[in-house]
């Protein structure tokens, strides 16, 4: 074939354009266990996390408190940076840490071959932790993660708004819908449902006892349309159909805070670590909020939604016992105090403990609630009733964006939520099929 | 080429004088050619060595990844049971490509970006051209100041630019909503109907300075005598711009258009960030690049993502080639 200059140029342009596309998307390979060096003397373990504020000081306190295990805290820039660096370490099979702060659901870590079974190491001291924390650390009834407390959800209400329109604080989700109808008549939204964030649906489903994924022998049982999920979907559908909610995005944070602080939104579900941000960004309404228990599906059955991403011991680490020793120390009064923030003087809520009440007063921001004592009680109550476990299956990373798509359409009123859930289940089935994973899907 | 022809035509003459590089050993014309040929090879090698850094970079960062991509695209990775075991890769031939060609989500995304490109690229080019012509018409000192200012948006990384515009568009805290309210217009930049315009405006804002600079550079190289002659003949400034300057810019217009089309077909970061504000419109596979990202890093199907990348690369290549040929034909 004879190439003229023009043809060469045309071809070069095409090749270069194609090349630019392709060079971004090649790679792959599998992760294999990496050998861990064994040394005499104290066992040294690397711990990866992105706790820039207190990560190092906690480790220093632990190293000073005993001499069997020496922890080296490797500070990561962020959750995303941890994922990238960890993936690289596993690919390179070198410098694999012994403990990694959970950056994705635990089952994802197991499916990727990253988390090792540490049941034997965790079992002897598991009673230190509450049931929710223990459940969250298990996959297929084996510990692949360290017991990790889920942050129990509660609700904060703008008391002025509730009082102004004479609305009783809802204790069930149906009452919540009714409260929304009253607020609507006055141009107030009962809550906000961000179009990109389906966590409200996941939380309500978990609270109602839904099981989107369960292990049955050597197969997954997939069911996005069980009774509990449809009950949760029904409540949210009523909120959407009656136009009782706003759809402010989290991406436009200043707008979101301005709206929360405007008195135009009566209530929102939340967890303890959001409170400091609210206090800082709600200048107009700080001091007018009240913490109340999250509404239930029925008055006689109490459960609090809350999920966690447990820390895990990577495949290749030869000292899981040393890791557990460190983790158990973190749950002692000494370990909890070591995490005191030097700026605020407060410690985080030890949500994995059976009784976190001694620490809860520390996390109530001053001047935000009408009644600080009641807020602390509500938070402890939320913590003790936390479900903890909500199995997200072997392909969470694949189906969550699909759930986001479907949720966005449902919140915008383009489709019904029940239809959205069916679509997600269909997507999950197709993805599992492609991946060769065995499953049965509910019809 | 000229030097080679010259020396070949006069074999007895050394480039540096009457002696050959190895001394005056050549008794006849024939043997004297050999040392000169060696010298030329050396010179050629020296010249070629200047392109070595590029070739190494092109090889390592482009050709090798393409080879790896081609390899990945003909395999499929699967696990079994609960999915906890090690995944195995099997050769599937062109199965991934067949799936890609029949993937309606992928081609719907492709159609979306095509329609978007048809609107945004010419609009951006027209604005860049207008700005370049205006800059060319003012004094150099004034032009220098505006050149830098107009190039600033191009210097802002795409993600940062998108974040800035999301704040500007914000119906609650952004100033643009209030601005349009002054004229009685209630514009929501985040709604499903306007999001393409919002993204397009951002893309034009980001790219206009670069295109303008390329065109302005070409305008500066046009001999000014032509303008003088046209003015003497009574041509207006508009006529000079349209009939002299624009035809001279054809090369720059082709280059910037090609780059704009390639960039637009691969649009990724803008819709990715806008997804949060209109999730009902911008889905995870809204554009081909978003779908490839989703398949590779969320679904975890690198094999299929690579096949999609190759298909997109080929489409971009074909479109570029067609436009290149088309514009060349017009020129000739």
Over the Cα atoms of chain A, what is R_g? 24
Give the model's confidence band at B188: pLDDT under 50 very low, under 70 low, under 90 confident, else very high.
Answer: confident
Residues of A whose CB is below 8 A from B277: 195-196, 249, 251-252
Residues of B whose CB is below 8 A from A27: 68, 72, 302
Chain B: give the shortest CA distance to residue A56, in Å: 31
Residues of B whose CB is below 8 A from A414: 280
Chain A: give the shortest CA distance to residue B85, in Å: 7
* B277 vs A30, A252, A258: nearest CB: A252
Taking an 8 Å cut-off on Cβ atoms, the answer to whether B65 and A22 are in contact is yes
Taking an 8 Å cut-off on Cβ atoms, the answer to whether A251 and B324 are in contact is no
* Per-residue pLDDT, B331: 64
Give the model's confidence band at B149: pLDDT under 50 very low, under 70 low, under 90 confident, else very high.
Answer: confident
* Per-residue pLDDT, B276: 83
Contact A211, A427 (CB under 8 A): no
Residues of A whose CB is below 8 A from B78: 434-436
Residues of A whose CB is below 8 A from B96: none
Residues of A whose CB is below 8 A from B82: 140, 215, 218-220, 394, 437-438
User: For residues A385 and A191, which has the higher predicted lDDT (pLDDT)?
Assistant: A191
Which two tokens mark B45?
């090698």
Distances (CA, A) of A46 to A49, A202, B19: 10, 34, 72
Residues of A whose CB is below 8 A from B62: 19-20, 22-23
Taking CA–CA distances from A433, the nearest residue in chain B reads: B78
Element (H, E) at B49: helix B29-49
Whether ipTM > 0.90 holds is no
Domain boundary assignment for chain A: 43-150+308-363, 154-305+395-441
DSSP string, A274-341: GHHHHHHH-TTTTT-EEEEPPPBSBTTB--B-------B-BTT-S-HHHHHHHHHHHTSHHHHHHT--
Domain boundary assignment for chain B: 2-50, 96-331
pLDDT at A271 over 80: yes
Alpha helix ranges (H) inside B221-278: 224-232, 237-240, 246-248, 250-265, 269-274
Taking an 8 Å cut-off on Cβ atoms, the answer to whether B294 and A404 are in contact is no
Chain A: give the shortest CA distance to residue B192, in Å: 10
Q: What CATH topology corresponds to A43-150+308-363?
A: D-Maltodextrin-Binding Protein; domain 2 (3.40.190)
Residues of B whose CB is below 8 A from A221: none
pLDDT in tens, A330-372: 999 999 999 998 887 788 889 999 888 999 888 899 999 999 9
Bridge partners, residue A48, by sequence: A74, A100
User: For residues B207 and B18, which has the higher predicted lDDT (pLDDT)?
Assistant: B207
Distances (CA, A) of A377 to A132, A288, A290, A346, B242: 19, 18, 12, 18, 76
* Per-residue pLDDT, A301: 82
Among the residue ranges A341-345, B20-24, B328-332, the one predicted with the least confidence is B20-24
The C-alpha atoms of residue B84 and residue B82 are separated, in whole angstroms, by: 6
Angle subtended at Cα A383 by Cα A382 and Cα A386, rounded to the nearest 5 degrees: 85
Taking CA–CA distances from B70, the nearest residue in chain A reads: A26
Taking an 8 Å cut-off on Cβ atoms, the answer to whether A218 and B81 are in contact is yes
pLDDT in tens, B53-92: 999 999 999 999 999 999 999 999 999 999 988 889 999 9
pLDDT in tens, B233-244: 999 988 999 899
User: How many residue pairs from chains A and B have C-beta atoms closer than 8 A?
Assistant: 189
Chain A: give the shortest CA distance to residue B264, in Å: 12
Give the model's confidence band at B34: pLDDT under 50 very low, under 70 low, under 90 confident, else very high.
Answer: low
Taking an 8 Å cut-off on Cβ atoms, the answer to whether B320 and A24 are in contact is no
Taking an 8 Å cut-off on Cβ atoms, the answer to whether B82 and A140 are in contact is yes
Give the model's confidence band at A298: pLDDT under 50 very low, under 70 low, under 90 confident, else very high.
Answer: confident
The C-alpha atoms of residue A101 and residue A50 are separated, in whole angstroms, by: 8
Taking CA–CA distances from B278, the nearest residue in chain A reads: A195
Short-list B300, B66, B327, B96, CA closest to A83: B300
* A408 vs B81, B279, B299: nearest CB: B279
Interface with A, mutate which of B92, B279, B323 (most A CBs under 10 A)? B279
pLDDT at A10 over 80: no
Short-list B203, B200, B199, CA closest to B211: B203
* Per-residue pLDDT, B19: 42
Taking an 8 Å cut-off on Cβ atoms, the answer to whether B79 and A249 are in contact is no
DSSP string, A19-66: HHHHTTS--------------SSSEEEEEEE--TTTHHHHHHHHHHH-
Question: Given 3-state DSSP classes, what are the helix, strand and coil percentages for chain B, each rounded to the nearest 5?
Answer: 70, 5, 25
Give the model's confidence band at A197: pLDDT under 50 very low, under 70 low, under 90 confident, else very high.
Answer: very high
Residues of A whose CB is below 8 A from B300: 395, 397-398, 435
Interface with A, mutate which of B104, B178, B277 (most A CBs under 10 A)? B277
* Per-residue pLDDT, A164: 96
Residues of B whose CB is below 8 A from A281: none
Tell me the three-class secondary structure of A97-151, residue by residue. Answer: CCEECCCCCHHHHHHCCCECCCHHHHHHHHHHECHHHHHHCEECCEECECCCCCC
* Per-residue pLDDT, B33: 53
Give the model's confidence band at B18: pLDDT under 50 very low, under 70 low, under 90 confident, else very high.
Answer: very low
Taking CA–CA distances from A253, the nearest residue in chain B reads: B167
Among the residue ranges A35-39, A88-92, B76-80, the one predicted with the least confidence is A35-39
Taking CA–CA distances from B296, the nearest residue in chain A reads: A25
Taking CA–CA distances from A432, the nearest residue in chain B reads: B83
Which two tokens mark B155?
């210097």
pLDDT in tens, B94-121: 999 999 999 999 999 999 999 999 999 9
Short-list A182, A188, A186, A187, CA closest to A170: A182
Q: How many residues make up chain A in this entry? A: 443
Taking an 8 Å cut-off on Cβ atoms, the answer to whether A435 and B321 are in contact is no
CATH top class, domain A154-305+395-441:
alpha beta
What percentage of chain A carries pLDDT values higher than 70?
Answer: 91
Bridge pairing between strands A245-246 and A191-192: parallel
Query: Average pLDDT for residues A416-433, to the nearest whole number?
Result: 97
Residues of B whose CB is below 8 A from A429: none
User: Is B96-331 a domain of CATH 3.20.20.330?
Assistant: no
* A249 vs B65, B77, B277: nearest CB: B277
Residues of A whose CB is below 8 A from B81: 218-219, 437-438
* B280 vs A19, A140, A414: nearest CB: A414
The C-alpha atoms of residue A232 and residue A238 are separated, in whole angstroms, by: 10
Taking CA–CA distances from B86, the nearest residue in chain A reads: A113
Contact A349, A151 (CB under 8 A): yes
Residue A319's Cα: distance from chain center in Å?
Answer: 27
Taking an 8 Å cut-off on Cβ atoms, the answer to whether A111 and B79 are in contact is yes
Beta strands in chain B (DSSP E): 75-78, 88-91
């Amino acid at each position: 074939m004879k190439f003229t200059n023009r043809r060469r140029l045309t071809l070069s342009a095409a090749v270069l354009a194609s090349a630019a596309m392709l060079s971004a998307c090649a790679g792959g390979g599998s992760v294999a266990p990496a050998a861990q060096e064994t040394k005499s003397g104290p066992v040294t373990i690397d711990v990866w996390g992105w706790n820039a504020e207190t990560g190092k000081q906690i480790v220093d306190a632990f190293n000073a408190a005993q001499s069997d295990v020496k922890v080296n805290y490797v500070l990561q820039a962020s959750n995303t940076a941890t994922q990238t660096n960890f993936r690289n370490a596993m690919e390179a099979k070198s410098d694999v840490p012994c403990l990694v702060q959970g950056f994705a659901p635990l089952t994802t870590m197991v499916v990727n071959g990253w988390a090792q079974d540490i049941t034997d190491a965790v079992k002897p001291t598991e009673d230190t932790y509450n049931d929710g924390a223990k459940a969250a650390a298990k996959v297929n009834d084996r510990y692949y993660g360290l017991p990790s407390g889920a942050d129990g959800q509660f609700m904060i209400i703008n008391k002025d708004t509730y009082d102004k329109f004479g609305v009783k604080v809802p204790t069930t989700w149906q009452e919540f819908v009714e409260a929304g109808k009253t607020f609507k008549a006055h141009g107030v939204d009962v809550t906000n449902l961000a179009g990109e964030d389906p966590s409200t649906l996941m939380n309500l489903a978990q609270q109602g006892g839904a099981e989107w994924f369960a292990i049955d022998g050597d197969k997954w049982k997939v069911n996005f349309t069980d009774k509990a999920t449809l009950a949760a979907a029904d409540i949210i559908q009523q909120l959407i159909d009656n136009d009782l909610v706003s759809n402010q995005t989290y991406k436009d944070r200043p707008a979101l805070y301005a709206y929360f602080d405007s008195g135009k939104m009566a209530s929102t579900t939340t967890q303890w670590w959001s409170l400091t941000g609210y206090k800082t960004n709600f200048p107009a309404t700080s001091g007018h909020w009240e913490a109340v228990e999250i509404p239930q599906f029925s008055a006689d059955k109490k459960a609090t939604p809350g999920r966690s991403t447990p820390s895990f011991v990577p495949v290749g680490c030869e000292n899981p016992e040393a890791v557990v020793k460190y983790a158990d120390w973190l749950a002692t009064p000494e370990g909890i105090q070591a995490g005191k923030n030097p700026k605020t003087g407060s410690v985080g809520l030890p949500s994995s403990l059976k009784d976190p009440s001694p620490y809860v007063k520390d996390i109530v921001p001053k001047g935000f609630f009408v009644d600080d004592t009641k807020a602390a009680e509500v938070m402890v109550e939320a913590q003790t009733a936390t479900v903890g476990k909500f199995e997200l299956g072997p392909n969470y990373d694949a189906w969550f964006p699909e759930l986001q798509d479907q949720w966005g359409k449902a919140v915008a009123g383009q489709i019904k939520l029940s239809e959205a859930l069916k679509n997600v289940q269909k997507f999950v089935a197709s993805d599992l099929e492609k991946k060769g994973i065995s499953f049965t899907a509910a019809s | 080429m000229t030097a080679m022809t010259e020396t070949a035509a006069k074999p007895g003459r050394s480039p540096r004088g009457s002696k050959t590089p190895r001394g005056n050993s050549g008794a006849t014309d024939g043997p004297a050619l050999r040392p000169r040929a060696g010298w030329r090879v050396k010179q050629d090698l020296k010249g070629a060595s200047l392109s070595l850094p590029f070739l190494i970079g092109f090889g390592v960062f482009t050709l090798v990844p393409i080879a790896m991509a081609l390899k990945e695209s003909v395999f499929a990775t699967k696990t079994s049971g609960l999915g906890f075991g090690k995944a195995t890769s099997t050769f599937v031939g062109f199965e991934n490509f067949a799936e890609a060609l029949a993937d309606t989500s992928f081609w719907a995304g492709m159609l979306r970006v095509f329609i978007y490109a048809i609107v945004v690229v010419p609009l951006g080019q027209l604005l860049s051209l207008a700005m370049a012509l205006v800059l060319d018409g003012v004094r150099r000192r004034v032009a220098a100041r505006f050149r830098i200012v107009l190039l600033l948006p191009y210097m802002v990384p795409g993600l940062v630019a998108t974040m800035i515009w999301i704040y500007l568009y914000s119906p609650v805290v952004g100033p643009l909503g209030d601005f349009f309210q002054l004229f009685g217009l209630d514009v929501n930049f985040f709604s499903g109907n306007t999001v393409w315009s919002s993204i397009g405006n951002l893309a034009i804002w980001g790219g206009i300075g670069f295109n303008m600079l390329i065109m302005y550079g070409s305008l500066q190289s046009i001999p000014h005598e032509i303008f003088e002659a046209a003015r003497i003949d009574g041509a207006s400034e508009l006529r000079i711009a349209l009939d002299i300057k624009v035809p001279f810019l054809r090369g720059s217009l082709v280059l910037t258009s090609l780059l704009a089309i390639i960039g637009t077909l691969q649009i990724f970061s803008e819709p990715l960030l806008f997804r949060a504000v209109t999730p009902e419109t911008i889905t995870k596979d809204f554009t081909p690049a978003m779908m490839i990202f989703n398949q590779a890093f969320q679904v975890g199907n690198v094999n299929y993502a690579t096949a999609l990348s190759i298909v997109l690369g080929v489409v971009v290549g074909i479109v570029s080639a067609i436009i290149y040929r088309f514009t060349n034909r017009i020129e000739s």
